[in-house]
Amino acid sequence: MRIRQLAARVSLFVLFVLGGTPVAFAQVVVQSQGADSRVDYSSLTRIGPWDDRNYQLTLEDLALLAPNEEELTEGIPAFYRVRLRREDPSMLREGKVQYPRSALPRYLVEYGGVLISGRIYTEWERIGEHFVVDLDPDAPTREMFEYVRALEGEVRVTSPNGAAESAVAINPVNPDQVVAGSNGPGGGQKMHYSTDGGETWNAAGLLPLGGTCCDPTIDWSSDGTKVYTATLGFANFFYRSADGGQTWTDLANEPGNDPRREISAGGSVDKEYIHVDRFPTSPHLDNIYLTWHEGGNIMRFARSTDFGHTWSTPIGFAADPRGIGSDITTDKAGDIYYFWPDFNGQTIRLKRSTDGGASFEVGTVQVASTEGSFIFPIPSMETREVFIYVSAGVDLSNGPFADSIYAAWTDSTAATGGIPANNHARIQVAFSRDGGDTWTVTTPHETADANSVDRWHQWLSVGPDGKVYVMFYDTRNDPTRTSVDVFYSISDDGAQTWSTPAQLTTVSSPNIGGGFEFGDYNGMDVVMNQLITVFTDNRPEGGGNTVDIYAAGFGLEAIFADGFESGDVTAWSTSIP
């Protein structure tokens, strides 16, 4: 970071040219308003969007930042970076992965956006060396979002506008009950429920006690009487519902009357995922497993053996490669498979437990290597950047590939750089037939167009008959690679070969302005004959683009009967009250 003494007033007015189109922004950084004349306040736009709260920073505050702070692309302003580092001194100070992936949504929950001259702005992007805030007086702010009815085709889950990052889970014994979670709208994690298989959605009661942030994750008990969710705040919070996701206070019925459980506290707690062992003969039936990372990206784990009432002391895998973006799955024997991307070594790692999470094997298995590391920019996700995370599943059927283990992730096709157009995103799927000892990697979509089409933000699910499903964003309908649609592929031979990808969305989502863009991930679940995907959608509605969570799905029987023909997929019609 370059810190130098300047004159009393600096006016910053920059004109960029992007693809021949001039983009002007005017950010006036008034040096005399700063608390410390030794600080060059205008230089702080190189490490994040400008926010007038930066004026309170001193040279001693900025000394907390990393030497390579300008290389870290997390779109949060300098004052918030200083705050996070002060609250969590264990944060790394070197390398390309230092801030938790939840830093931006947490900032948006707390502050709503960047404060400039008394107004909150919600759209910014990185152009050249600077983070650029859209100061157009007609640009939307968080307060300006309003409800717009969804278009015919897929189902809009969230209302009002302003939601990203979603998870979904179907009741394993009653597919009419579906629960979804989202980051927003309006800040904080919101929950949604459906009683008709996902055709219509309702807003659930707020998660109790407040302080939630983001990264929803959901799963059900084996008998379908309880549904669970976890969320980030400045802790890792867990909740339980006994009414199909309508309310989230069921844990208050346990001794202690506390409606939530705090699994792990700290400002760097990030990227949690939940999994319930539901195989009927598993010795660990209904164990709940939670994965996340914290404290310098150390992977962590906790479990509950009493339906979420009490939790084990979290354990951390400090001796293993550091990571971000993990998932857990289990096989018929109840063995645990814990996956994460090792961003330093550029590999996908696996750690296993054969005793229901009481202990884990020493060391990890390398599933595959990756071309990318952590995140990389592409034209449709140039500011938040595409996130490399893992989603996993196991074949619990009695078919020919029973107990096969699957993991899916987004990767680049080659080494990445800072120019979005030069990077290309693809989906990779790995399978193992020997309990995770050895792995084979396949690609669930076309490869001949790898330099003209990006695929990213995948999720993987395994159907009740062992078929493997992968959904993802796909830019094939836009030659500029800036708009996305949701596609899916299916394998009926254990992920060795894949169907031609079929399109689920009927309207493309153009590139989203703002630092958060499409968020970090999407979700999918398969139960009985029902498949549901949830995803961030930016289709034009009500005269402009909105950012919402949509759902799309279909009955699997029609696909099985007609050989993966996309024409047999019937998207849900809209029915939102």
Specify whether the CB–CB gap between 250 and 207 falls below 8 A.
Answer: no
Tell whether 233 and 102 lie within a shared domain.
Answer: no
CA distance 83 to 87: 6
* Mean pLDDT (whole number) for 369-373: 97
For residue 354, the one-letter residue type is T
Per-residue pLDDT at 250? 98
Q: Is 80 exceeded by the pLDDT of residue 20?
A: no
Rounded to an integer, the average pLDDT of 138-161 is 54
Tell which of 142, 171, 199 closes a domain.
142
Q: Are 541 and 564 found together in one domain?
A: yes
Instruction: Report the pLDDT averaged over residues 330-353.
Output: 98
Percent over 70 (pLDDT), the chain: 88
Contacts of 352 (CB under 8 A, 6+ apart): 335, 336, 337, 338, 360, 361, 365, 435, 436
Provide the pLDDT confidence category of residue 153 given band limits of 50, 70 and 90. Answer: very low
Could you tell me the two tokens for 412? 């680049």
In a domain, 85, yes or no: yes
Q: Is the pLDDT of residue 560 over 90?
A: no
Answer whether 500's CB lies under 8 Å from 425's CB: no
The model's pLDDT over 417-447, given as tens digits with 9 standing for 90+, comes to 999 999 999 999 999 999 999 999 999 999 9
Least confident of 26-40, 204-218, 241-255: 26-40
Looking at the structure, tell me whether residues 326 and 470 fall in a common domain. yes
Q: How high is the pLDDT of residue 196? A: 86
Examine residue 4 and state whether it is found in any structural domain, yes or no.
Answer: no
CB atoms inside a 10 Å sphere around CB 460: 25
In-domain check, residue 153: yes
Of the candidates 482, 538, 458, the one whose C-alpha atom is nearest the C-alpha of residue 505 is: 538
- Band of the pLDDT at 546, cuts 50, 70, 90? confident
At 58-71, the pLDDT tens digits run 999 999 999 999 99
Mean pLDDT of 315-337: 97
Higher pLDDT, 367 or 24: 367
Residue 33 reports pLDDT greater than 90: no
Whether the pLDDT of residue 19 is over 50: the answer is no
Average pLDDT over the chain, rounded to whole? 87
Contact 101, 138 (CB under 8 A): no
Point out the least confidently predicted range of 12-16, 62-66, 266-270: 12-16
Average pLDDT over residues 475-491: 97
Q: Which residue has the higher pLDDT, 123 or 374?
A: 374
Q: What is the pTM of this model?
A: 0.86
Question: What pLDDT is recorded for position 329?
Answer: 98
Total domain count, the chain? 2
pLDDT, tens digit, 9 for 90 and up, residues 379-389? 999 999 999 99
Give a yes or no: residue 172 inside a domain.
Answer: yes
- Digit-coded pLDDT (tens) for 80-114: 999 999 988 989 999 989 998 888 888 887 788 89
pLDDT of 573 higher than 60? no
Q: Is residue 446 one of the residues assigned to a domain?
A: yes
Asked whether residue 252 falls in the same domain as residue 137, the answer is no
Q: Which two tokens stand for residue 199?
A: 């055709």
Q: Which two tokens stand for residue 385?
A: 């950047």
- What's the rounded mean pLDDT across residues 229-254? 96
Residue 576 lies in a domain: no
- Tell me the average pLDDT across 45-73: 93
Confidence of residue 142 (pLDDT cuts 50, 70, 90): very low
Q: Are residues 108 and 202 in the same domain?
A: no
CA distances from 462 to 15, 67, 273, 505 (A): 50, 44, 17, 21
Does 3 or 371 have the greater pLDDT score?
Answer: 371
Q: What is the pLDDT of residue 541?
A: 85
The pLDDT value recorded for residue 170 is 93
102 contacts 215 by C-beta, under 8 angstroms: yes
Pair (119, 167) in one structural domain = no
Of residues 258 and 154, the one with the higher pLDDT is 258
Lowest pLDDT segment from 77-81, 89-93, 304-308: 89-93
Same domain, 138 and 180: no
pLDDT of residue 101: 86
Residue 565 predicted with pLDDT over 80: no
| For residue 375, pLDDT beyond 50 | yes
Cβ neighbours of residue 367 closer than 8 Å, sequence gap 6 or more: 339, 347, 348, 349, 350, 407, 430, 432, 436, 439
CA distances from 70 to 46, 65, 352, 380, 485 (A): 6, 10, 37, 22, 32
Q: Kindly give the pairing relationship between strand 375-378 and strand 155-156.
A: unpaired
Q: What's the CATH code of the domain at 343?
A: 2.120.10.10
Summarize pLDDT for 156-194 with one digit per residue, the tens: 999 998 999 999 999 998 888 999 999 999 889 999 999
Host domain of residue 204 = 145-568
Looking at the fold, whether 388 and 301 belong to one and the same domain comes out as yes
Residue of 83 and 26 predicted with greater confidence: 83
Q: Quickly state the pLDDT bin for 455 (edges 50, 70, 90).
A: very high
Q: Answer yes or no: is 575 within a domain.
A: no
- Identify residue 230 by its one-letter amino acid code: A
| Same structural domain, 152 and 45 | no
Q: What is the pLDDT of residue 123?
A: 82
- One domain for residues 101 and 212: no
**Residue that finishes a domain, picked among 79, 109, 142:** 142
In the predicted structure, residue 408 carries a pLDDT above the cut 50: yes
Average pLDDT over residues 18-31: 55
Instruction: Please check the confidence at residue 234 and state whether its pLDDT lies above 90.
Output: no
> What pLDDT is recorded for position 28?
74
Residue by residue, DSSP assigns 167-181 as: EEEE-SS-TT-EEEE
Regarding whether 470 and 500 lie in a shared domain, the answer is yes
In this predicted structure, what is the pLDDT of residue 27? 63
Q: Is residue 574 part of a domain?
A: no
Please tell me what DSSP assigns to residue 56.
Answer: G
Q: Which of 121, 142, 163 is the last residue of a domain?
A: 142
Share of the chain above pLDDT 90, in %: 70
Average pLDDT over residues 253-265: 95
Q: Are residues 60 and 169 in the same domain?
A: no
Average pLDDT over residues 520-547: 88
